[in-house]
Structure 1
Amino acid sequence: MSDLILWQPESGDLLPANAKTPLEISNYATQLSPRDRKQIVSAYNSSHFEMGVSYLWDKTINALKKELATVGVGLLGEMLGRPDVTEDDDVNDVLTTRDAIRLAEELGIVTITEALRLRHLHELVTHFSQLEYNNENSEELDETEALGALKTCIKSVLGRPKIEVAKKFVDFREALEGETIPENSQYIEMLNSSPYFFKKLTISVLMNGAKKNIGANLEHTLANINILIPATWRQLRDTEKWQIGYTYAEAYADGKTTAVNGIKSALLKVKGFDFVPENLRSDTFIKAAEAILRAHDGMNNFYNEPAPVKKLAKLGTTIPTPALPACITALLSVVMGNSYGTAWDAEPEASKILLKLSEDRWSFYLNNAFPSDIRILSKLLEEKPRAKWIKLASECKFSNIQIKKNRNIEQLIKATTDNEVSRIKRSSTKLIDEYYGKNK
């Protein structure tokens, strides 16, 4: 039985080395109309680089969002942890630029390297769009940067054919709520042999379905919870197990008897009640972490990050275990920053919270959540965020933490404590590949 496969870009360079001028390079942008290519070339030839790159970037992100929409806007919402999103929503309203790049990487539309270049380009475009120009001190996008932007957009998105991504999973996702999957179904074997990314997303789909579905769809969802959770429980990481327990507690608090009974039945089969939180205090911390990430990913992030970080700091001295992965990811994002640096008013507060975490709490994150934390693993491929990570790891004494089961995590932490940049990058890439199944 073949496993769930991500679409993989065609091998080989889509842009030959002898394409050097804007006209020669733009000819390979198969997703652009002749008129669009002409306007971009005209802007470049007139040295209006910022105007040309801005127009090019808009076309690139719109093309990427349209391709992502073929998966289903509702599924994209579930991948973002937003169960409020429906198929009727506009993909442009649902996805930010950073969301689009991250989901394109997760679904295999772009490679890890292409996603990294697109994020850098997004930061570059945002940086120049926010500059205040004056006659005495003005910075402008130069020709080299503009040509680099053109190559990145065409290699990563505009030069590729339009494709349908992960169709097997789209069909599987529809089956999760539309029919009851038999215990001997090929889907179970398929899921068990697939990358962890699909298992994590399957749990999100099922838990969101248990909370929002009614009637027959709810019955199918709960039946599938009782089939798929026992079948995959031993492969699930604690982050997903806590998600299941949290959903049970939330349904219980809301008086959703049918959902409670269905999830309870599944938890009894796997002896999973250790992962049910005693109260919903975690919800407040998770929402605070989400607010930090929205600020971090949004415009003017250095200005907007301090407020949500301070709000999280005021919630209490102890972060509930179910909320720990979300909170550490958010705080690490602030501390590590991006290729332009960090928010001066937010980083010290975020670092203060992380430095207070006990060795046991760091052990929980590094062993259970870090292997799936693509946001932080991707940051380790960048110079400035990686330097911040190394400094924090030393201050928090990661060298004292015992890493269990995952050899790549063990190697990454060892490389971090030894300040071996090439090994950090290599281990991070392996973990990202492991998560997406690209090393198969």
Structure 2
Amino acid sequence: MENALTIRDNPTEIANIIQTSNDMHLSVLEAIGLPTENILSSIDERKVAIRNLPYVIEKMNTPLLNDAYYLSKFFVAVATGLFDAALNYLWDETIKQLRIRIINGDIKYFYDVVISDDRRKNFSSPEDLLKLDDFDLIKGALQIDLISQIGYKHLDYIRFMRNWASAAHPNQSELTGLNLISWLEICIKEVIATPPSNIQVRINQLLANIKSEVIDEEQAETIAIFFTELSSDKADALAKGFFGIYIDHNTTQQTRTNINNLAPALWQVISEEIKSDFGIRYATYVANGDNQTKNEAKRFLEIVDGLSYLPDSVKVPQIKSAIDNLMVAHNNLNNFYNEPSFARQLRSVIGTHGTVPAQLNYPYVKVLISVFLTNGNGVAWSAEPIYIDLIKSFNPKQAFIALTSFTDEGIKSKLQFPLCRQKYEELLNYIQPNITSDGVLSLLDEIKPRIRNLSNITNSDKLIQKISFFNKNYLG
């Protein structure tokens, strides 16, 4: 840490170096006739960042620092006064480290959890991670317990700032030295210097054993105890992993037998949403004529006694494809231009086939709410009227899912942004006429005053417990 001590002990020398460098850069720009105003962040802000830098960096161990090339660029950009570029480099290092951690785990499990079926064939190797946008990467890292819920929320905010306040796009945003140091600390604490969680280690080991060992019924009973210790979202992710292994053409019969012994116990603790999703995926394989995958998916559902979740209409995969396409377009940097066409596609499918099947209520409502809330930066004006029309057509159960959609981590994270909170308040007004239960109306009245703080709500909050009661008794 010699460099850190030098920075701490010689603030005057560092300040002189910054001033000299600043004067040199500006004089060169002036000499060649380029603009000099509002190019570099102020020297005072640079001093703030550099003075605090050692206290943050010392949280990393030396081996990690040796490979942190983007952090080197981050430091140079901070010292130079190019704060927007510095934010870009910080994000690049964070994404690089996330990819490394995913590769060091079970990358097929990550793909099975994060990637939809129609895209899954394009993701198999570590190199394919480069095809995945940052939104899906950090959301997937949350799903497999690579980052915490708090870490996800912070990273989603930094991603937002990187997209709209960094050198990634033209902008007039002003970043401060403390902004950058705070975000650096978050990225180090939540990603760069964070070891795998115990849950992640145990899941990776379980997946490895499923593929290489023989797991008999007695061992399966012991492992099933672990399933009861998982949160609902982690159990859902593991179930997706099991399903993905099961339908893989290269999976051995012994591995499938292991899953046969384990899956029924896991099925008991996963959400209705994921159970419905497996049924939807089966319908998609049928529609696509993928007979081998269809057959394995059906066997999986038979093993867990889940055949009741099979949809009986071919419209299901069409609607599912439409909402998947809409979500991909929404998360793309050019969403304002791409969203409307996919919104029209969804409206066309819904309009042609009538009401949305019950199996699709969760994904349909959550995607529609997510795109209606915007990305926090602006409204896709050509798509918004379509979203409003579809939202106004919600049936009572869909309206309840929309009302309580803030319990989804992705939507909850959006509500930290003012524009998204404003749109959520509008949403409540649109769905209120479709709520027929006095109990749900009472819940609506309880949620309205808390909109500003919904992004920080915890699972221990009484409101969440009340929603859980309604999930069992109203949607059941």
TM-score range, shorter chain: 0.7 to 0.9
Cα separation, 2, equivalents of 1:79 and 1:320: 23
Shift in CA distance, 411/371, structure 1 to aligned 2, threshold 3 Å: farther
Residues 362 and 234 of structure 1: CA distance in aligned 2, closer, same or farther (over 3 Å): farther
Distance 1:378 1:234 in 2: 28
Structure 1 partner of 2:248: 212
- Give 1:90 deviation, angstroms: 1.4
Could you tell me the TM-score, scaled by structure 2's length?
A: 0.71
| Structure-to-structure mapping, 1:360-375, within 5 angstroms | 360-363=397-400, 370=405, 373-375=408-410
Is the alpha carbon distance of 1:107 and 1:199 closer, same or farther for their aligned partners in structure 2, counting shifts above 3 Å?
closer
Measured after TM superposition, the shift of residue 119 of structure 1 is 1.7
Which of 371, 375, 388 is the aligned partner of 1:351? 388
Specify which of 447, 456, 467 is matched with residue 416 of structure 1.
Answer: 447
Aligned-pair CA distance for 1:411? 9.7
The corresponding residue for 1:5 is none
- Residue of 417, 420, 423 corresponding to 1:388: 423
CA RMSD, 1 decimal: 3.7
CA contact (8 A) 1:411 1:427 kept: no
Structure 1's 351 and 28: CA in aligned 2 closer, same or farther, altered over 3 A?
farther
Q: 1:153 to 1:233 in 2, by over 3 A?
A: closer
Partner of 1:426: 457
Aligned counterparts of 1:419 and 1:97: Cα–Cα separation in 2: 30
* Higher normalized helix content (fraction of residues): 2
Q: Does 1:378 align with 2:413?
A: yes
Instruction: State the Cα deviation string for residues 93-144 of structure 1 (Å, max 9, x = none).
Output: 24321222223333444333332222222222222435447xxxx5554545
**What number of residue pairs does the alignment pair up?**
401
User: 2:127 aligned with 1:96, yes or no?
Assistant: no
Matched, 1:27 2:57: yes
Kindly tell me: are residues 246 and 199 of structure 1, through their superposed partners in 2, closer, same or farther at Cα, counting changes over 3 Å?
same
Cα gap change, 1:111/1:265 in structure 2, threshold over 3 Å: closer, same or farther? closer
Structure of higher RCO (CA pairs closer than 8 Å, 6+ residues apart): 1
Partner of 2:35: none
> What amino acid sits opposite 1:298 in the alignment?
N
The answer to whether the Cα contact below 8 Å between 2:370 and 2:411 also exists between their aligned partners in 1 is yes
Residue 107 of structure 2 is aligned to residue 73 of structure 1: yes
CA–CA separation in structure 1 for the residues paired with 2:57 and 2:345 = 50
Query: Which one has a bigger Cα radius of gyration?
Result: 2
The partner residue of 2:233 within 194, 197, 205 is 197
Cα separation, 1, equivalents of 2:187 and 2:458: 27
The reply to whether residue 123 of structure 1 matches residue 160 of structure 2 is yes
Aligned to 1:6: none
Of 224, 231, 241, the residue aligned with 1:188 is 224
Q: 1:339 maps to what in 2?
A: 376
Alignment partner of 1:283 out of 317, 322, 337: 317
The answer to whether the Cα contact below 8 Å between 1:77 and 1:94 also exists between their aligned partners in 2 is: no
Amino acid at match of 1:329: K
Give the direction of change, closer, same or farther, for the CA distance of 1:330–1:428 in structure 2 (3 Å limit).
farther
Alpha-carbon deviations, 1:34-62, whole Å to 9, x = none? 87655433322221222222222212221
Q: Cα deviation per residue 1:339-395 (whole Å; 9 max; x = unaligned)?
A: 32332222222222122111133346778xx59733223323444323322321232
Amino acid paired to 1:200: D
Q: Counterpart amino acid of 1:32?
A: L
Please list every run of 5 or more consecutive structure 2 residues that lacks an aligned counterpart in the other structure.
1-47, 466-476
Letter in 1 for 2:167: S
2:102 partner SS: helix
Asked whether the 8 Å contact 1:26–1:41 carries over to 2, the reply is no
- Which of residues 351, 359, 365 is equivalent to 1:322? 359
In structure 2, the residue corresponding to 1:129 is in which secondary structure? coil
Percent of aligned positions that are identical = 19
1:396 match: secondary structure: helix
1:308 pairs, out of 342, 358, 369, with 342
Is this contact kept in 1: 2:242–2:263, CA < 8 A? no
Letter aligned with residue 306 of structure 1? P
Aligned to 1:14: none
Structure 1 gaps, min length 5: 1-17, 435-440
After superposition, the Cα gap between the structure-2 partners of 1:365 and 1:416, relative to the gap in structure 1 and judged at 3 Å, is closer
SS class of match (2:457): helix
Q: 2 CA distance for matches of 1:424 and 1:55?
A: 27
TM-score where L is the length of structure 1: 0.77
User: Which residue is equivalent to 1:230?
Assistant: 264
